Structure formats: structure tokens, C-alpha cells
Amino acid sequence: MHTAPPQTDSAPARPVVDVTTSGPDPRPFSVRYLDNPDQTELKALTRQHTPGVLTTKAGSLNKITRNKSRVAHYTYVITEEPGRWSQKAITPDKAAGLIARQQEYIEARGELIAIDGYVGLGRRAFGATWLYTTEGANIAGMQQVLAFPRHEVESDSQLGEGFRPHFRLVYTPDFRPDDMPGRQCILVDLASWTTYVMGPDYFGESKKGVLRMLNHFVFEQDGLVLHAGGKAVTLPGGERITMTVMGLSGTGKTTTTFSKQGDLTEPIQDDMVVLWPNGELSITENGCFAKIEKLNAEAEPVIHAGTTSPEAWLENAWLEVDGDFDFYKGALSPAEVARVRDVLILTGADATNVDAYIAGSVTQDAVLDANGIPADGWDFVVWTGNGRSILPMSAVPGAADLHTIPPVRSMGILNRDEGADAAMPGILRFTSPAQAAGYFMLGETSKTSAAGKDRGKTRSPFTQPFFPAQYGLQAARFRELAATMSGVPMWLMNTGYVGGDARSVEAGVGLKVKIRHSSAMLEALLGDRIVWTVDPDFGYEVVDLAAPENAALLARVPTAILSPRSFYAEAGRLDEYEAWVRQMTAERRAFLNSYAVDADIIEAVAGPA
């Protein structure tokens, strides 16, 4: 490892990283390379080559995609040992045939966009090359925003040498192999640190393709990638710390990362960070990939301002006739469907069904169920709730200096609970690293619009569908790391509901955990102003409603959110709550056992067997 040059008064020193690597060839194909075009050039390439792109009122580009989310079930690790991996497996022989056909497609097209950059900064920076056929120019543009440029990582002498990445990703949106399910596949070659994306046209596959490889790479170096946001917080005594916030898509991870607690909070990352011994944190991205469903300037001013700026890249935003945004768009009228007919058909909608709806021979009531979910073949009637935007960290007011990240001194996980049996406390604190490891391993939440029709409660180990090796390894590694982080509080926050959902709240049943409630709970947690008591059912700590010291928090957050047990008791539904306790205990034990999690971790969550 090289030594960084001394700092000067004029500018911080640029860390010098060891860029020597036996990683993949960044230019492996016999084609013309469009090497690292700038954002203006990438937007011109997108307008020329990318189908389904609309221009917003702000002048930014909005791609309407075939895929509305990542397709984990079309992701395969190339291996002869499928039992080693959490993902689906594909044999090397079959993978080689697909990769050869992708190469033929690429070389027939004759050119590739090449983006070189880094995942992270400083000594924990890892180089990556992303290669795209030109129909994926918009994806290249989005990826360039998130990657750290070489000049922020390498020395002047290194910049004069050829780029030597750790990882490579090859992306061909319109090469759609007919012999693969869904006419698409993502092949992960961990021997050569290369991912091949064939068929999807959704940016998430580019973003997560390299981050998935990073997961395994970091694990081999005794770290652990967390599907988590991070923010720097200055505590009342003046100490500056990092707080990490884990969570699946739709739990509010980005919202929580960019919301303020007190006067001094500085966003660091919104999606994935790397935890090393002693609470060292390294970062992965130079911006965020934000959900825009129900985005508004009052609740999320930073994300709203970035999303509506001319520099933004968007996917699946609804645009009005004048190109303005409607982030609340749900079911479409026949006239609205008629206006975007060509794009809908281009991205997979059945033309016969589209025309029948436009003509009025089929109505909304006929194709939407009581929950507003469309029948098969009629998805186009409801605009996707998984629209996204890319926001560079440079556009975030008050963002942290990513070169000087303080150590992790607070770790949490978000659970967006929803439904009649939503009973997770607004905030709780774990009593041991083993208990935290167990709940982080559970990764509980309610599925959101990103999951399409497959809704309801879900669990995802460490909220990490991007960890290629056996999922249970994460719990053991986390406990190892936690042992080096004595005194770091670990907690869970419910960002959804207590005793209901959006419709039941409107009917006066149940409560929504609002952003202002979350901010109040986090402020009290970070200020060490909560008096806790042990929950009698689960053994974690919850807010002590009887403690006078908690009066200020109780004035800002309803009692029912802090103590769902009291909510169910006052509603005469305590029997429902107790049944929920029994069900959750049994389900959690079974889930953790299914991943061979250590017995003491399971006991910390579900009690003795």
C-alpha cells in the first residue's frame, strides 16, 4: 500500500490506492470503444440509441423500462458447486455458450460505451469497468454518476497508466436470449470478477451487478457489506459519529438517511456501505438511486430537488402532457393510456389489451381487484410505484465529506410493518450483539411496490439479496465485527404502521409512523435521552412509557407507536397481539434455523428452544 502525500492548506490530500490487480481486462472485445463520455455526451447517446426515453419539463431524461425492478430469479452464479451459493447456479458450460452469444451480439453492434471508475474512496476503493451496448446509454449515464472518477482516487502517475479494475460488468439490454426464462439472465463469474447482464433494461442490474461482486470480495477480506444508508451525526457533546441504517427497498432507508436529526447530520450513503473491524466504514457510491413514489418537496426536499433538476436521470417517472412530474400517479385513465400507448407497448404491454382499455370496452373495475392490483396482462393500467432517480452527492446540501468518515457508533435496521397484525414498536434497542445479529439476519419488512403483485410480509437475510455466498455467513461475520465495537447501540425502527395500513388509518383504525415521528425517535436515541425497559415478550428494550424522562418523546410520538402492546390492549385486541407474538417467535426461529445460524443468536431472538 502506498503512503498518501502530506496534506496542504489549499486542498485535502488525495489518498493513493494500490491499483495493482490481476482483475479482468477492461476492454476485452474487438469493437470501437466510446471511452468515458461525459454526461452531455451520454445524454446525446441516450436520445439517439435508447428506446422508450421521454424528456421531462426540466430537460432531464426519463426511461420507461420493460423491467420495473431487479430480477433476482434470473440471476445465476457460474459454478460446479451450487451448494456454496445463495443464488441460483448455472454450469460453466452453459454459461460459456451464453457469454459467447453475447460477445457475438456485441461485436456485431461494433461499439461499446465504457465507464471506468471506483466503488468507494481512499484505501478501500475498488476499481470497476462497466461496458454497455449503446441502447443502454442511459444506464451508462446513471452509473457514471454513482461511480467515483479515477482522478478522485488515483495519483497523477497512476492516472497516466492503463486502468486496472477489480471488477467488470458487461450489459446488453437488447440481447435477449430466447432459451432463458424471461429471455434474460444475469451471469455472475466470481472467478474472473465479471458479471454479464443480458436482457434487462433496468438500471438496478448495473448498480447491483458490481455491488454483488463487492459483497463476496469484501467478505474474503474479513469485512461485511451492509445494505444500509449511512449518515454522519454530531452528538450533543460534539463527538462526530457515523450511524448506519439497514433496510430493504421501500422501508425508508434513503428517506431516513437524508432526513435531519438535530442541527448537524450529514448524509454519507443511501444504499450500501462496508463495515470493517473496530467500526471502520467505507463507502461504495457517489450518489443515490432514490425511489420517487409519492415524493414531495416538504417531506423529502433534497431528493425532490435533485429529482426535478435538469441533471437528473430517471426511470419510470410519470410525466404530464407538459413533461411535469406526478409522483403520486396510480391507476391510469383511458386517455392517459392512449397518450403513452406506444411506450407501453414498447415495454411489453399487450397491444390488444391496451387498445381495448383505450376504447372503453374494458374498464378499471374489471381488471383491478379491491386492493388496486391489476390482473395478469393488465399491469399497464396502474403506473409502476417503483420509479427511480439518480442524485449525485454533489447535489446534496450538507452532505458529509466522503474523504473523512467517522467510525460507526450507531447501527439500526428499518422494518416497514403493515397490516392488521402490524405490531413492531416504533423504536427498540437490542440488548446484545447476538440479538442484533439475529434481527439483522431476519431482515423483516412488508413488501412494497418494488415487489409488484407479490406483496405481504417478507424476510431477507441482512436485507441482502446481493450476498452471493450462503446467507447465514453474514450473521457470524457480523457478530465477529460487533465484538470489535464495544458499546455501539444497535436498534430497530418501524417506518410503517401499527395495527393497520393506509386504508385502515383513513378509517380511524391503526396509526402511520410518519417521518416526523421517525426523526423524533432518532433524535432521542442519538441524544441518549430514552429510558428503556425490557419487552416481556421478545427480550429487546422498548421505550419505558412510565419514565418521566421520556415525556418529551411521548409528546412528539403517539404512545401506540412506541408501545403496540398498549395499542392492542386499549382496542380490546390483546388476544390478537399475543397470537402475533407466538406466530412471530415460531417463524423467526424457523427462518434462522433454515440458514444454520448459530444457536446463541437464535436464542437471543426467539428464546430457548
Q: Which of 598, 219, 244, 227 is nearest to 434 (CA)?
A: 598
| Span 169-189, average pLDDT | 97
Q: What is the pTM of this model?
A: 0.91
Average model confidence (pLDDT) for the chain?
92
Of the chain, the percentage scoring pLDDT greater than 90 comes to 84
Which residues, at least 6 apart from 93, have a Cβ–Cβ distance to it below 8 Å?
none
Q: What is the pLDDT of residue 528?
A: 92
Residues 32, 110: contact at Cβ < 8 Å? yes
The residue from 221, 237, 270 where one domain ends is 221
Which residues, at least 6 apart from 306, have a Cβ–Cβ distance to it below 8 Å?
290, 312, 389, 391, 392, 395, 396
| Span 427-434, average pLDDT | 96
Q: What is the pLDDT of residue 254?
A: 87
The domain total for the chain is: 2
| Span 476-500, average pLDDT | 95
Residue 454, in any domain of the structure: yes
| Span 16-20, average pLDDT | 50
Q: Which of 197, 273, 320 is nearest to 464 (CA)?
A: 273
For residue range 206-224, list pLDDT tens digits in order: 999 999 999 999 999 999 9
- Asked whether residue 163 carries a pLDDT value surpassing 80, the answer given is yes
Residue 18, in any domain of the structure: no
Name the helix (H) or strand (E) containing 76: strand 75-78
510 vs 359, more confident: 359
Q: What is the pLDDT of residue 385?
A: 87
Q: Cell numbers 491499483 label which residue?
A: 19
Name the helix (H) or strand (E) containing 566: helix 564-570
- Asked whether residue 415 carries a pLDDT value surpassing 90, the answer given is yes
Q: Which residues pair with 281 in a beta bridge?
A: 275
| Span 365-390, average pLDDT | 93
Residue 555, in any domain of the structure: yes
Q: Is 355 helix (H, G, I), strand (E, B) or coil?
A: helix
Q: What is the pLDDT of residue 446?
A: 87
Q: What is the pLDDT of residue 9?
A: 34
Residue 255, in any domain of the structure: no
Q: What is the pLDDT of residue 21?
A: 59
Residue 398, in any domain of the structure: no
For the chain, give percent helix, strand, coil, nearest 5.
35, 20, 45
Q: What is the pLDDT of residue 450?
A: 44
Q: What is the pLDDT of residue 370?
A: 86
Residues 137, 50: contact at Cβ < 8 Å? yes
Of the chain, the percentage scoring pLDDT greater than 70 comes to 94
- Asked whether residue 502 carries a pLDDT value surpassing 50, the answer given is yes
Q: What is the pLDDT of residue 8?
A: 32
Q: State the CATH number of the domain containing residue 176.
A: 3.40.449.10
Residue 336, in any domain of the structure: no
| Span 63-89, average pLDDT | 94
Let me know if 470 is exposed, middle or buried by CB neighbors in 10 A (0-12, 13-18, 19+): middle
Residues spanned by the domain of 68: 32-221
| Span 159-185, average pLDDT | 96
- Asked whether residue 341 carries a pLDDT value surpassing 50, the answer given is yes
For residue range 93-142, list pLDDT tens digits in order: 999 999 999 999 999 999 999 999 999 999 999 999 999 999 999 999 99
Could you give the angle at which helices 599-606 and 574-594 cross, rounded to 10 degrees?
170
Residues 251, 417: contact at Cβ < 8 Å? no
Confidence of residue 397 (pLDDT cuts 50, 70, 90): confident
The residue from 221, 241, 259 where one domain ends is 221
Q: What is the pLDDT of residue 360?
A: 97
495: alpha, beta or left, given left = phi > 0 and alpha = psi -120 to 50?
Answer: alpha
Residue 243, in any domain of the structure: no
Residue 404, in any domain of the structure: no
Give the lowest-confidence range in 23-32, 262-271, 351-360: 262-271
For residue range 590-603, list pLDDT tens digits in order: 999 999 999 999 99
Q: State the CATH number of the domain containing residue 444.
A: 3.90.228.20
Q: What is the pLDDT of residue 592?
A: 97
The residue from 158, 193, 221 where one domain ends is 221
